[in-house]
Amino acid sequence: MGIQVGCKPNAGITRISRMGDKRKDHQEECNDQKGDPPTEGFSYVDIFATKHIEYLLVIGFLLLFIVFWRFLTRPAKRVFKAAGKYVPVINEWFSLPEEIYYHLGHSWAAPEGKNLVKVGVDDFAQKLVGKINAIQLPGIGSTINQGDKGWTLEVDSKTIDMLSPVTRVRNRRFNLSLVYDPVRNQYNSTGLLLELINDTPPETMKILGVTELDLFIPIFTFLFGEAQLNGPAALVSTHRLRNQFYGIPDDQALLKKRLLKEGIHELGHTFGLIHCFALKCVMKSSTYVEEIDQKPTHFCKLCQQGVLKWQNEKNI
């Protein structure tokens, strides 16, 4: 880039001198001699004499920042894998197998089969704590939620609590022959609910059992579910919530909505709520599956007050 030099920018323009006399400047040609090269009379400006270098630095910084930000936002395993290409020592320090699932509490879980997983501590935690003297495990049959204390490591004279990477769902087996009615080819809901109540841990506030069995009680042809009023347990069956029972195509999304509504409905009984006459309340009684589809998943204001009253009485 260049600019012309040697020409008066106001050549040929009438000006007034300091003495008040008018004079006219003569236009001067940029090239005084014929045959001069076309570029004579031009000078080139050094880029370092302008702010262009500052703009280039800013643009370069932004490009580097974008690359660095994409590196940081990649999943942890991919970050370690990519970093291992540039820092080989990372691969030597930490092992991150891809077939297991990691938790933020430096624990992991690996599926071992149906309803069974293997858990442990990741390689980082193992190298950090060093030699482990003993492991304290929770009691058999205890309920553990993801993020709760799963087990305790004993290292020298210290104990370290590790977080559980999974939620343990109790998969208790009941003697169904005691509640089965061969004439009706159904299962007595009240008997199954009593089995669930007797198996409920003492520290449990409420428990909801879900089964695929077709439930009944002697005075009704079938039940979607049953609960103990003001009690600790409720039971819901998916048998008649599925579209296949009525000979129509399966709809998993609809099944989940129906199960959610019936689960909340039966748990509402455990909080002391009875059937509600409000059309827009989940506690409304449902005789047919179409009635379940029409009601919402929430309590009406009156039933909400009933749950709050129960909580105040229990100081919860």
Mind telling me the catalytic residues? Answer: 266
How far is it, in rounded angstroms, from Cα 239 to Cα 230? 25
Rounded Cα distance between 180 and 231, Å, is 24
- Our CA angle for 15, 18, 22, nearest 5°, is 35
Beta bridge partners of 16: 22
